[in-house]
Chain A
């Protein structure tokens, strides 16, 4: 048997070596940040400005459809969107179509609404909690919130919550934003609430879902998408730029919180590792292809 060259031997490389290399290149930028620049894209800008253009006191429905498994991608978006809305004085109604979404929502609210903005529960925001039923819940709230959410996440009757007094159905909110990691998620919001009631919808999603959502963005059924961790980093960048430059509606509290916004940017912090890992994966694909073609050429020769 002819002796194999280094390039040919790569074809049969133990996959565990590849895992180790990927682990190493992900770990290193987390320990030693590189501070690579973040460039914003149209998709994220569309989502950002759709929310930014909402008037003061507009009511936004945020739906949490993700859990710990997709937290690194979506949670930074949730934190940034909450900061953005509270910076403008918007009212926030939260609900969850995933059981784990309740915990994610509570964690995000604890940081942004309680620790950073010190807002009043029930007046500035409310967490209605989780309801099983997937799209049936969405369809249900197009008729009545009270019929589906008789109590909020704390067990308080929905009729006793001031922010809900003038919200009978989802048509009474000005914008729907879904933090979605799968089914039920952003698509169901478009299908059962956004399109039938003509309420604008946007979404923050895991990367893997983006291809499925782009047709809805292209057709105007969705107002932009925050796509995975890079999208979250872009949103953080846009928000900080807005607060730094004092663009559009902004309350005094947001200006004071700017250092906190800058210090706590998880997605931006993680993007170095993401970028380097992508480079290495591209390199693997190129080397794998070279190895394949070299081997095929040699086999034909004999």
Chain B
């Protein structure tokens, strides 16, 4: 915004550039703290996980730059609309080479926007890489992984039009209840059985496309107990709008109890399911409803991403 101040001022003319600069500084000085302290702490998606609070602060930081830019440009247009109307009279001779370009202004503008953009890029990259993908889908072989000692893999299976979840470290049982232990790093392995869906766990700040035949991994670490809304955010057919369910972040002991009980209770069902795999291929006679595990030998190893343990308790890795 510094670009506006440079044009000179006539003898009788007010110093428009200085005025604009002063007004801009004042409104920025008001708007930024107002947003940061009043709205900032309440911005979505909250602070239930590390990635959620990370996204919240990223949003707020971007807002600190966006508000002055937006308000500055609007201020300029508003000021022009008020001050520089034809009805206010004045000389008609406002053209000529000086009105056509101004090297200093142009250079300042280009320089400023370039610096802001590059700063946004560096900040965004750091905030992407350090929190291990910031909760976004990182494909089958994530290169930015969490550093925690324990990691819990949860498989998210999307299909028209529901989400279900398999817990590979608990015998691979499948359920439509999403239970997540608190204070735990979770690796969501998102895949689809039919079309492209998207797993959006709003409060967890996890979002990953569910592609058929692909294991799309996203990480987060839970911090607060609470409920989670899961919605499909990639158009997947007529019931897309109704494809949602709810999850819960519970304490570790509650989770452990729920998981072991479910594992035992569902064991007869689990036996009938396709062997656990990171993705599944529909039976060639799709109408029959069968699914083959994809490349079961290649993928049956549970990736630990450097962690010592792959579940909450000291459960040993059970490969199917």
The answer to whether A and B interact is: no
Interface positions of B (Cβ within 8 A of A)? none
